[in-house]
Structures are given as structure tokens and as C-alpha cells.
Chain A
Amino acid sequence: MTVRVGVVVFPGSNCDRDTLRGLELAGAEAVALWHEQASLDGVAAVVLPGGFAYGDYLRAGVIARFSPVMRAVAAFAADGGLVLGICNGFQVLAEAGLVPGALLRNRGLRFLGRDVRIAAERLDTPFTALVGDGRPLRLPIAHGEGCYFADEATLDELERDGQVLFRYVDAGGTRARAEGDPANPNGSLRAIAGVLNAHGNVAGLMPHPERASDALLGSDDGLPILRSLVEAASRAAHAPVSEVADRAPVAVGS
């Protein structure tokens, strides 16, 4: 049985098609969820894709946060549902307070579209279980506001609690410095490229796994991230009813 994974489409999303395709390559039945709908159509996981939701007006991600679908996503996440935000999706999650921290303007001010390398800090999460041995992954970035920020106390907590999911690294896998290191494209504090919420069921990352989900695209290093999510979603969808009792019904037969 194929698990259903939803991809939210905001006005201004532009990676939704790629993400639907990447999730299909990862083995899911991927369905689009329009921003005005208040239900998640019984999907077993949700991905917030990249783009410029609501034109990135005011602050990237902030207006999307108040859309009907995000109320449903927040309730889904509170019930333990799996949510992944990619790039603009990460910004939406941060603005919604579903993952810690904020994404500031890139330290170098420019919009950056190029490949970077990241390494998973944890290989035991729904987003990284199939990533392998923690070797660097080569993934594209495309963002103007990707500089991860949280105050020092929060950063310490994230590290202590294992909530740092990915960091920018150089080709040899060495963690990038916060400033003046080309391996850290946007100047993210502690080279953080992706984080988890406290419960470990919501993750955000700036690089685009879906743009590296097929060797034809130059790299398929992103596919294991999507496959990890699809596999974890599949387990969640087939969990005994008691474990998902307070969640929206999951359509496993479709």
C-alpha cells in the first residue's frame, strides 16, 4: 500500500511540483493540498515546499502561517504528525513557531542559488533514517533569507537536545564556521542548515532535497531524506489505531 503524503501549495510556492515528483520517486502517493483548505485530506505526512509564499511580503513565511491549511498543519504536528519544511517551507514553520529559531537575510545579502554540502547530525529521525552514514550530501540551495538564528541559550539547548538536524560542511565533511566560510553559504549560526522541533516530528531545512532526487538532476543525495520521510509516514499510517486515535483518519487504501 502506498502512503499518501501531502504537499501544501501556497500562492507563490514554486517547488511544489518538484516536491510532489520527488516524493513519488521516494515511493509515496503525493497529493497537493491547497492553502485555503482546512483539512489535510487524511495524509500521513505533510511537506511545505519552497517558493515565495504570499510573495514573502512582510517577512518570508509569516503570512502563510495564518492560512487555513497551516492551522490544520499545526494541529497535525501537535498530534505527532510528520511535517517537513523545505526552504520557504522552513521559513513558514519557523514563523509559525513549529520549529525553533528564525531565518534572517543571508549574511552576504545576496540571493544564493548553488550547491552546498550538508551533513546529518542525527541518523535516527523520521527525516534521516535512510541517509546512511552521515557523509556530506550535495544539495542545491536557492534562498535570500537562510541565515539560521536563535539566541545563544536556545542554540545550546538545541545542541544538548539533539535538535540540530543538518549542518553545512565542507567537501571533507568538516563543520563550516559561522562567518567567512564559503561552506556556510548564508552565515547560519553554528552552521545550522536544518532543525527539529522538541518532539522530533517536525523538521525544517534550507537546502532542497527534491531538486536532488534523481541522478538526472546532477545529484540524488536528497532522495534518502524524502525516502526516510515516506517510510516513517508509512509506519505512522499503519500504526495501530490507538496510536493515532486523535488524529484525522488516514486513508491507507487509496
Chain B
Amino acid sequence: MSEFRFAVNVAPKPGILDPQGRAVEGSLGHLGVEGVTGVRVGRRVELTVEAATESEARATVDRLAHELFANPLIEAFEIERIELPAEVAR
């Protein structure tokens, strides 16, 4: 078995109201920054999965992302592999 580390990046789907993103965008003028649009605020979940293969680990992450980390009605997600220096076969 090996350990595989992933990040799941969750963001509001395009077209879904994102009041947080809108508020952040509205504040940019106060920083003296102009020309920034399309701010969307999401969340990132990082996790380590123990599995025989990367694809097996990824299948677990995919299931968790669908069922728990993201609400498919309103959120989209991307799974990202993070290389672990400490990743060793057991």
C-alpha cells in the first residue's frame, strides 16, 4: 500500500450566485486595484489516501468529492495530485 496526497478544489459553478466572491470583488477598489473581475470564492480540501494504486486512491477522492466536499447542485470541483516527499511504499 502507498499513500497518495490530493487536493480537491471546490468552487461555485458558473452562473451560481457567489456573494462572497462579489463582496471580495467589491473591496478591491479600496486596495487601489482596478481591472480585476470574475472573483469566485471556493474551498480547498487536502487529504492523504492509502491505496494500492494511484487510480484506486483517486477513485476514493472522486467519491468523497461528489458526496461530501462539493454539492453538485451548486459547486464544481477539480482533483489535484500533490506529490509527497514522504510518499513511501509500505
Interface residues of A, Cβ cutoff 8 Å to B: 58-59, 62, 66, 95, 101-102, 104-109, 147, 149-151, 187
User: Given the complex of chains A and B, what is the CA–CA distance between A147 and B74 in angstroms?
Assistant: 12
Instruction: Check if B73 sits within 8 Å of A149, measured CB to CB.
Output: yes
User: Given the complex of chains A and B, what is the CA–CA distance between A151 and B15 in angstroms?
Assistant: 10
Instruction: Check if B23 sits within 8 Å of A109, measured CB to CB.
Output: yes
Pick the contact of A149: B17, B20, B23, B43 (CB < 8 A).
Answer: B17
Instruction: Check if A149 sits within 8 Å of B19, measured CB to CB.
Output: no
User: Given the complex of chains A and B, what is the CA–CA distance between A102 and B74 in angstroms?
Assistant: 7
Shortest distance between the CB of B80 and any CB in chain A (Å): 18
A-B contact sample (20 more), CB < 8 A, given A107-B17, A109-B19: A58-B68, A58-B69, A62-B68, A62-B71, A66-B68, A95-B71, A102-B71, A102-B73, A102-B74, A104-B17, A104-B74, A106-B19, A107-B19, A108-B19, A109-B23, A147-B17, A149-B16, A149-B17, A150-B73, A187-B17
28 contacts between A and B (CB under 8 A): A58-B43, A58-B68, A58-B69, A59-B71, A62-B71, A66-B68, A101-B73, A102-B73, A102-B74, A104-B16, A104-B17, A104-B19, A104-B74, A105-B19, A105-B20, A106-B19, A107-B17, A107-B19, A108-B19, A109-B19, A109-B20, A147-B17, A147-B19, A149-B16, A149-B17, A149-B74, A151-B73, A187-B17
User: Given the complex of chains A and B, what is the CA–CA distance between A80 and B53 in angstroms?
Assistant: 43
Shortest distance between the CB of A116 and any CB in chain B (Å): 18
Closest 5 CB pairs of A and B: A102-B73, A105-B19, A102-B74, A109-B19, A109-B23
Question: Contact mask B19-39 → A, CB, 8 Å, 1/0?
Answer: 110010000000000000000
User: Given the complex of chains A and B, what is the CA–CA distance between A62 and B73 in angstroms?
Assistant: 13
Chain B residue with the shortest CB-CB distance to A59: B71
User: Given the complex of chains A and B, what is the CA–CA distance between A95 and B71 in angstroms?
Assistant: 7
Give the most central of B17, B43, B69: most A CB within 10 Å.
B17
User: Given the complex of chains A and B, what is the CA–CA distance between A58 and B23 in angstroms?
Assistant: 20
Chain B residue with the shortest CB-CB distance to A147: B17
User: Given the complex of chains A and B, what is the CA–CA distance between A62 and B66 in angstroms?
Assistant: 12
User: Given the complex of chains A and B, what is the CA–CA distance between A58 and B19 in angstroms?
Assistant: 17
User: Given the complex of chains A and B, what is the CA–CA distance between A108 and B17 in angstroms?
Assistant: 11
Shortest distance between the CB of B41 and any CB in chain A (Å): 10
Question: Contact mask B38-68 → A, CB, 8 Å, 1/0?
Answer: 0000010000000000000000000000001
B43 contact set on A, CB distance < 8 A: 58
